[in-house]
């Protein structure tokens, strides 16, 4: 339950409104409902002061909107239809990207009409909703029947989807500005080199809007492996948790090409889903009954094989059974939803009984535009055009998002952004909803609950079993049973059953945990039909008015607008930061913007799932509670912010990795080798005269030999052990597939405050002014030493009042910087629960709001024990009788980098205005003569030493009444101020920072700092921790002409130590230093200087700088200062575009966007929102970065080792079986069982247990299976082992004691081949040693893993197996000889085989250590020689390498 603050009755009320009549007060409050600040100062982020990179209050989606890894700060320009060519529309129309495709035979739409349609599409950009009713649980027979019919049509499509809203025709604006003959401007192959879309060519107005409108509401949290709630109705390898999608490879962001659509109403549509930042395509299909029956018959005849193929490759089924049909004409069909990476999901259509006006679902168009000519075809009679009434409504649910079909144009609209046209005034909304309206909206939006579908065990079992991996296992077991390999088949069956059962148990646990985390309900008081009614929160609908004061809330059950009262919330679920966030009542203009589709103002928006700290009603004159705290429900269920968070966890974006793609291809190569080997053997089988059944079984058996069923499972062994080891270090992973990606990190980015430095700030002291000498006074670390001065606007009063702190249950809460500053004053704080209140009335006289006139009251120490009467009787000048009231506050705005307050002293005739902000901005708002002479010198002194400096200014206005203060604009208040002094904060570096940075730099891993702090402070901290070399020259840019919005602005780079020394503005190389400088131009190398850039210059360079200059800046800059959350995200994405694999480490909050955008994100926050990053650590120290990189490299090398080992094992066994096939022989049942169960599985499992090397090596391991080194190693080992086997095969046939095997009996009914012969025994004994040998060769140790001998379990397994093999070779017990069907070989022959094993071992080891490197080098030289005659402008696709080369 959120505590409700009670009245403060212990004090008399005080009057801060002298000179204002009750009428004036009421009028002022009426005016306060209008914009109270100039538009240029409006800041939707609503952050408290901590620098633009430290957004703290309020937050939520304005920061969480960045969490999408593909989010761009210019994303608004991308939100258009791929095919839209209409320009000049209002930018608001670009929020939805939809593409309805019509043929020439369909209705014609003029360009003007197209504009109208696009406008209409905007109003519903993406409303999520789950299915109207939970799907029935599938029975066993029902699920089995689905295998033989069509792929299962789900109530809610649940498949992974890569999200990309990029335009396929995008071009970089800067590319046209770069000289075509530039040597180093790198243009990557994809058209969208820098993520620009065609929208980049928009008007200047759009460009200026991007910073304010770029943050979309989408939230995406990676969660691997995919949640088991995701139905695998269409299991594609592209979405498999092992071979998942591949975001770090160039992927195809295009849809599958289809035949032209049929004539008539639209049957296709592209929709941009804003919260996922992805474009999906909807295609309507109708089932053809006779083809469906034919398909089912064929499935039966093929024993389900055709059904499985249709399940895995749905387009096969779609092409045979269905035909494309207009959405509104579908009767027995469905809608296929295709994502940008070509994953498809079949979604069923639902028809809701909905007898309400169509405007209740599809409100009137924006900007007064009307729909183009509506479709006349309405076979179902769902809509009456005359009465504009709907009879029914067609909806689909995709990933718990609801899409509704408009019968007028036959297109779907996403319901998440449905808006009520009547939401224009908060006073009009406080009357609540009528019951009939609530019933209508309950049908339209379903229940207000985040209810994840819980599948039955049988359904999960069937989904698991029909996965391609297990289907291959089942087919192999059936084949072995037919081949009389019963023991081996039974063992593999038992292992598979154990694996499936384990997976099901974990899946059920995950489902239960997710459901418990997401589902929430509570009792709320709702205004219905003019009366307050208590109901369950699951019954809330958009438009409900909730009494927060009486609802006993602990968690907010829905997204709401605060209408009255005030609230303090903990939004750590969204931001990772548990700093309380204050909410104020919504203004009418914010409601109008919301109605028109503009993002909500987070200052008055209460996000679902956040925790209520305090909810307080409005106060009346006597200090008691008056009007209750009211809120308007805006979004419910999965449409809420919490719902978006849960959806992003259920459907994470596939991150992919090149290793996985190569492994799938390599398996295909192995299958090809199997077919080649069998083709050779088949000729021999036919010549011998074997039955065709035997030949067929042998062919299939050879495939199971070359492509072992256990291969996919071995790829995750290294990752599993790495995750377990990371947990011991306090590092938790929710995306296992990112472990291997961590092994390829080549740049590390860090936030500063809370990451490199300690979380808290300590005040070193304050520097007031000494007006007598016009210089700064001494540094004061005790507030009692601070003189009050003669002016009314004093430094002490500024420290005590210029903040946004709140009092909750006796504790001061708010921004840590504000809290430290106020604690330094030792004053006491009380919120404005006392004193008179202003009454807001409508024209009719109805009271709509009562608000405290004084927001905050502060008093010096000791005054709290005196009553007011005593204070007024005594000397008013005595400090302990002093009282200051904050009349008005202008909140911190990141673009202005300051906040201000209007303060009135009790019984004073004047009011004072105090401003707190960054020292750089004070020059613009203060009188020049108020600054001391040593201002710049002192500021430079502290910032260069890493201190955080905050400046204070103020002024006094005589005769300023309360009414005038309410009417004053921010520009008027923050003008002609007098500078008061500086506050010096000390931010200490964490003990583990410098050693970790040093270790990373020793490993040749470049480090970057991305912070919201001052550039001088950031550089100082960077130098102190070793991120920037102490001896390096640092250059910083500034505008000589223009600003961040001026295309022709001029930027100058100057040395931070010597302003006379500059960089070349184009190539960013140092110009010759000034004559007095100690450095000489020829001595300044690439590593001798570094760059620091601020957010404003960074933004200008992104938009207007030449491409080559931008690339060089990104590569060379080590400190990115004054970065907003959105710009932090953009830095990460720009680095990725240059080919970097980026690690981002931050403490949550304003880092969330960058953490999600990075290839590997580590959050040092322990809050719930740690799900914003794939990795979280309970120890807030960047030492975790080293551990993660070491484990990532170890896991990656382990995956390679296991894969190489499994490939060699397959090919060794393939060689053995192929040689035996030449005379119709094969390995025996127990021989297969011994090799696969007792040799391969123990070795494969224990290989992954080798610990990572204790130091980070300066080179990264390869991530490609087709690299020169990997291929030369595999191919070389194959040649050596195969050559030894062929020698043994030929050798044994030439021995005196050799007896040829009997000819196969072609009349025998058995399909099993004879295994008792000398060739079999020799090859079996030799190959058993080869399996162990290659395990040792491929167990790579340093520099990425510890030596093999440190892995005790692996050494134990290898030792035991080697000893047992020696026993079987040299002196086999009779029981083993019989069990393994071996022939007795003379001792001389056994010793020769042992010698062959030793030679084999020596050759393999020497080749792996020396030969593979030589071969790889020769191949590399051949490739370079081949490329020598061509101009190659790329280096392995890594643009940054070329850029670095151009700067050296």
61/1126 Cα distance (integer angstroms): 12
Q: In three state form, how does the secondary structure of 675-691 look?
A: HHHHHHHHHHHHHHCCC
- DSSP labels, 1074-1097: PTT-SS-GGG--GGGEEEEEEHHH
Contact 1108, 178 (CB under 8 A): yes
Query: For residue 852, which of 887, 884, 827 has the smallest C-alpha distance?
Result: 887
Residue whose structure tokens are 């029981």? 1375
107/214 Cα distance (integer angstroms): 35
Strand arrangement, sheet containing 411-414: 350-353, 392-398, 401-406, 411-414
Contact 1100, 1044 (CB under 8 A): yes
With the C-alpha atoms ordered 1433, 1438, 1441, 1446, is the resulting torsion angle positive or negative?
A: positive
1242/1225 Cα distance (integer angstroms): 28
Query: For residue 448, which of 516, 539, 560, 543 has the smallest C-alpha distance?
Result: 539
Residue whose structure tokens are 């418990």? 516
880/887 Cα distance (integer angstroms): 21
820/5 Cα distance (integer angstroms): 24
* Positions of E strands within 1096-1202: 1117-1121, 1142-1146, 1160-1163, 1175-1177
Contact 1309, 1243 (CB under 8 A): no
Residue whose structure tokens are 């709290």? 864
219-244 exposure pattern, b = at least 16 Cβ within 10 A, e = fewer:
bbbbbbbbbbbbbbbbbbebbbebbb
Pseudo-torsion of CA 1204, 1207, 1209, 1213, nearest 10°? -160
Residues with Cβ within 8 Å of 326's Cβ and at least 6 positions away in sequence, in order, are 262, 264, 265, 266, 267, 284, 410
User: Biggest alpha carbon distance in the chain?
Assistant: 127
Which of 329, 639, 662, 751 is catalytic? The answer is 751
Instruction: Establish how many alpha carbons lie within 13 A of residue 1388's alpha carbon, considering only the half-sphere containing its beta carbon.
Output: 6
Contact 1055, 1061 (CB under 8 A): yes
Contact 801, 914 (CB under 8 A): yes
Residue 338's SS3 state is strand
Residue whose structure tokens are 């957010």? 1095
- Whether residue 870 lies in the annotated active site: no
382-421 exposure pattern, b = at least 16 Cβ within 10 A, e = fewer:
bbeeeeeebbbbbbbbbbbbbbbbbbbbbbbbbbbbbbbe
Backbone angles phi, psi at 813, to 5 degrees: -125, 150
734/222 Cα distance (integer angstroms): 7
Residues with Cβ within 8 Å of 1421's Cβ and at least 6 positions away in sequence, in order, are none
- DSSP labels, 1336-1380: HHH---TTTB--GGG-HHHHHHHHHHHHHHHHHHHS--HHHHHHT
Query: For residue 765, which of 746, 785, 780 has the smallest C-alpha distance?
Result: 780
838/840 Cα distance (integer angstroms): 7
Contact 231, 1127 (CB under 8 A): no
Instruction: Return contacts of 437-440, CB within 8 angstroms, 24+ apart.
Output: 437/543, 438/528, 438/541, 438/543, 438/544, 440/354, 440/356, 440/360
Residues assigned a catalytic role: 751
């Amino acid at each position: 339950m959120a505590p409700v603050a009670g009245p403060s009755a212990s004090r008399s009320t005080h009057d801060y409104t002298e000179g204002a009549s009750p009428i004036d007060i009421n009028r002022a409050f009426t005016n306060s409902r209008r914009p109270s600040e100039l538009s240029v100062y409006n800041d939707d982020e609503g952050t408290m002061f901590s620098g633009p990179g430290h957004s703290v209050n309020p937050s939520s989606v304005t920061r969480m909107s960045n969490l999408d890894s593909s989010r761009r700060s210019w994303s608004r320009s991308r939100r258009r239809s791929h095919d839209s060519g209409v320009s000049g529309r209002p930018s608001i129309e670009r929020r939805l990207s939809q593409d309805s495709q019509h043929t020439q035979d369909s209705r014609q739409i003029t360009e003007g009409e197209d504009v109208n349609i696009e406008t209409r599409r905007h109003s519903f950009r993406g409303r999520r909703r789950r299915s109207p009713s939970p799907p029935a649980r599938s029975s066993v027979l029902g699920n089995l029947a689905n295998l033989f019919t069509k792929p299962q049509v789900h109530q809610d499509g649940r498949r992974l989807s890569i999200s990309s809203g990029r335009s396929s025709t995008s071009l970089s604006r800067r590319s046209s500005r770069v000289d075509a003959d530039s040597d180093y401007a790198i243009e990557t192959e994809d058209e969208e080199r820098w993520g620009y879309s065609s929208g980049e060519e928009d008007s200047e107005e759009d460009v200026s809007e991007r910073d304010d409108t770029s943050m979309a509401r989408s939230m995406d949290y990676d969660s691997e492996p995919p949640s088991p709630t995701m139905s695998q109705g269409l299991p594609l390898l592209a979405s498999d948790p092992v071979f998942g999608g591949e975001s770090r490879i160039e992927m195809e962001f295009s849809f599958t090409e289809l035949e032209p659509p049929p004539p008539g109403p639209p049957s296709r549509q592209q929709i941009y889903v804003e919260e996922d930042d992805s474009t999906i395509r909807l295609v309507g299909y109708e089932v053809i009954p006779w083809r469906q029956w034919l398909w089912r018959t064929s499935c039966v005849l093929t024993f389900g094989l055709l059904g499985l193929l249709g399940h895995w490759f749905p387009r096969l089924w779609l092409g045979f059974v269905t035909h494309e049909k207009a959405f509104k004409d579908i009767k027995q069909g469905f809608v296929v939803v295709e994502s940008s990476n070509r994953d498809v999901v079949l979604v069923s259509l639902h028809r809701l009984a909905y007898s309400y006006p169509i405007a209740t679902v599809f409100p009137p168009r924006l900007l007064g535009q009307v729909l183009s000519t509506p479709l006349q075809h309405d076979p179902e009679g769902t809509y009456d055009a005359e009465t504009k009434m709907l009879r029914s409504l067609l909806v689909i649910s995709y990933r718990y998002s609801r899409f509704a079909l408009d019968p007028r144009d036959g297109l779907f609209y996403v319901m998440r952004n449905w808006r009520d046209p009547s939401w224009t005034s908060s006073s009009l909304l406080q009357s609540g909803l009528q019951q009939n309206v609530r019933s209508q909206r309950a049908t339209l939006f379903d229940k207000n609950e985040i209810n994840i579908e819980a599948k039955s065990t049988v359904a999960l079992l069937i989904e698991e079993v029909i996965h391609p991996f297990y289907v291959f296992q089942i087919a192999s077991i059936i084949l072995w049973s037919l081949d009389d390999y019963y023991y081996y088949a039974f063992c593999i069956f038992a292992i598979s059953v154990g694996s499936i059962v384990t997976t099901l148990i974990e899946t059920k646990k995950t489902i239960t945990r997710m459901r418990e985390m997401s589902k929430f309900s509570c009792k709320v008081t709702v205004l219905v039909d003019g009366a307050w009614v208590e109901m369950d929160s699951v019954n809330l609908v958009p438009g409900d008015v909730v009494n927060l004061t009486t609802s006993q809330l602990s968690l907010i059950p829905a997204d709401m607008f605060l209408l009255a009262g005030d609230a303090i919330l903990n939004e750590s679920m969204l931001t990772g930061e548990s700093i309380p966030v204050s909410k104020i009542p919504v203004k009418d203009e914010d409601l109008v913007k919301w109605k028109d589709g503009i993002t909500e103002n987070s200052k008055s928006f209460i996000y679902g799932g956040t925790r209520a700290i305090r909810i307080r009603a409005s106060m009346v004159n006597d200090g008691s509670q008056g009007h209750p705290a009211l809120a308007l429900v805006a979004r419910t269920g999965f449409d809420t912010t919490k719902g978006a968070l849960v959806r992003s966890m259920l459907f994470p974006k596939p991150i992919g990795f090149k290793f996985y793609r190569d492994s799938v291809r390599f398996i295909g190569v192995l299958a090809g080798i199997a077919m080649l080997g069998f083709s050779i053997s088949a000729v021999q089988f036919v010549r011998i005269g074997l039955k065709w059944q035997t030949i067929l079984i042998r062919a299939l058996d050879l495939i199971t030999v070359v492509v072992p069923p256990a291969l996919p499972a071995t790829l995750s062994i290294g990752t599993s052990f790495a995750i377990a080891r990371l947990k011991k270090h306090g590092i938790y992973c929710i995306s296992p597939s990112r472990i291997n990606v961590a092994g390829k990190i080549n740049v590390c980015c860090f936030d500063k405050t809370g990451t490199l430095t300690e979380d808290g700030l300590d005040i070193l002291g304050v520097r007031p002014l000494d007006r007598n000498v016009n210089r700064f006074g001494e540094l004061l670390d005790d507030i009692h030493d601070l003189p009050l001065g003669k002016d009314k606007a004093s430094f002490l009063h500024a420290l005590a009042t210029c903040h946004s702190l709140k009092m909750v249950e006796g504790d001061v809460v708010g921004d840590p910087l504000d809290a430290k500053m106020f604690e330094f004053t030792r004053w006491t704080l009380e919120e404005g629960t006392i004193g008179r209140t202003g009454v807001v009335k409508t024209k009719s006289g109805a009271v709509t709001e009562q608000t405290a006139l004084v927001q905050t009251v502060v008093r010096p120490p000791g005054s709290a024990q005196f009553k007011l009467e005593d204070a007024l009787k005594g000397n008013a000048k005595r400090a302990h009788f002093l009282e200051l009231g904050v009349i008005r506050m202008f909140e911190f705005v990141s673009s202005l980098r300051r906040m201000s307050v209007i303060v009135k002293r009790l019984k004073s005739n004047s009011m004072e205005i105090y401003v707190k902000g960054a020292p750089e901005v004070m020059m613009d708002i203060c009188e020049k003569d108020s600054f001391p002479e040593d201002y710049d010198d002192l500021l430079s002194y502290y910032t260069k030493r890493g201190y955080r400096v905050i400046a204070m200014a103020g002024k006094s206005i005589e005769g300023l009444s309360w009414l005038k203060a309410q009417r004053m604009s921010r520009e008027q208040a923050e003008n002609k101020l007098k500078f008061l002094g500086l506050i010096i904060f000390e931010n200490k570096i964490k003990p583990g920072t410098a050693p970790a940075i040093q270790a990373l730099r020793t490993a040749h891993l470049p480090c970057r700092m991305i912070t919201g702090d001052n550039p001088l402070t950031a550089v100082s901290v960077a130098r102190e921790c070793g991120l920037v070399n102490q001896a390096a020259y640092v250059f910083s840019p500034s505008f000589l002409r223009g600003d961040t919005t001026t295309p022709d602005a001029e930027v100058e780079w100057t040395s931070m130590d010597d302003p006379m020394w500059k960089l070349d503005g184009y190539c960013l190389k140092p110009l010759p230093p000034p004559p007095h400088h100690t450095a000489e131009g020829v001595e300044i190398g690439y590593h001798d200087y570094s760059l620091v850039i601020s957010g404003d210059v960074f933004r200008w360079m992104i938009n207007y700088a030449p491409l080559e200059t931008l690339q060089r800046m990104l590569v060379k800059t080590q400190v990115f200062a004054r970065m907003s959350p959105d710009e932090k995200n953009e830095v990460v994405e720009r680095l990725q575009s240059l080919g970097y694999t980026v690690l981002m480490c931050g403490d949550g909050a304003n880092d969330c966007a960058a953490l999600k955008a990075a290839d590997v994100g580590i959050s040092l926050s322990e809050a719930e929102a740690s799900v914003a990053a794939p990795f979280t650590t309970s120890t807030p120290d960047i030492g975790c970065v080293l551990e993660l990189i070491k484990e990532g490299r170890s896991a990656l090398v382990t995956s390679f080792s296991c894969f190489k080992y499994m490939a060699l094992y397959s090919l060794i066994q393939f060689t053995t079986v192929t040689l035996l096939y030449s005379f119709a022989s094969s390995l025996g049942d127990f021989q297969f069982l011994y090799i696969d169960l007792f040799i391969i599985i123990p070795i494969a499992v224990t290989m992954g247990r080798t610990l990572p090397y204790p130091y980070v090596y300066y080179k990264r391991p390869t991530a490609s299976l087709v690299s020169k080194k990997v291929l030369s190693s595999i191919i070389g080992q194959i040649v050596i082992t195969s050559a030894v086997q062929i020698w043994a095969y030929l050798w044994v046939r030439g021995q005196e004691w050799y007896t040829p095997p009997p000819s196969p009996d072609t009349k025998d009914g058995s399909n099993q081949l004879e295994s008792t012969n000398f060739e079999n025994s020799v090859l079996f004994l030799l190959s058993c040693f080869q399996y162990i040998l290659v395990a040792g060769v491929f167990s790579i140790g340093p520099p990425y893993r510890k030596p093999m001998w440190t892995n005790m379990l692996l050494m134990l397994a290898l030792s035991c197996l080697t000893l047992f093999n020696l026993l079987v070779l040299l002196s086999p017990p009779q029981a083993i000889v019989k069990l393994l069907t071996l022939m007795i070989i003379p001792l001389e022959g056994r010793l020769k085989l042992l010698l062959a094993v030793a030679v084999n071992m020596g050759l393999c080891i020497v080749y792996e250590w020396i030969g593979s490197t030589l071969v790889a080098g020769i191949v590399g030289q051949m490739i370079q020689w081949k490329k020598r005659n061509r101009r190659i402008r790329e280096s392995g696709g890594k643009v940054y390498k070329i850029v670095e080369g151009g700067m050296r």
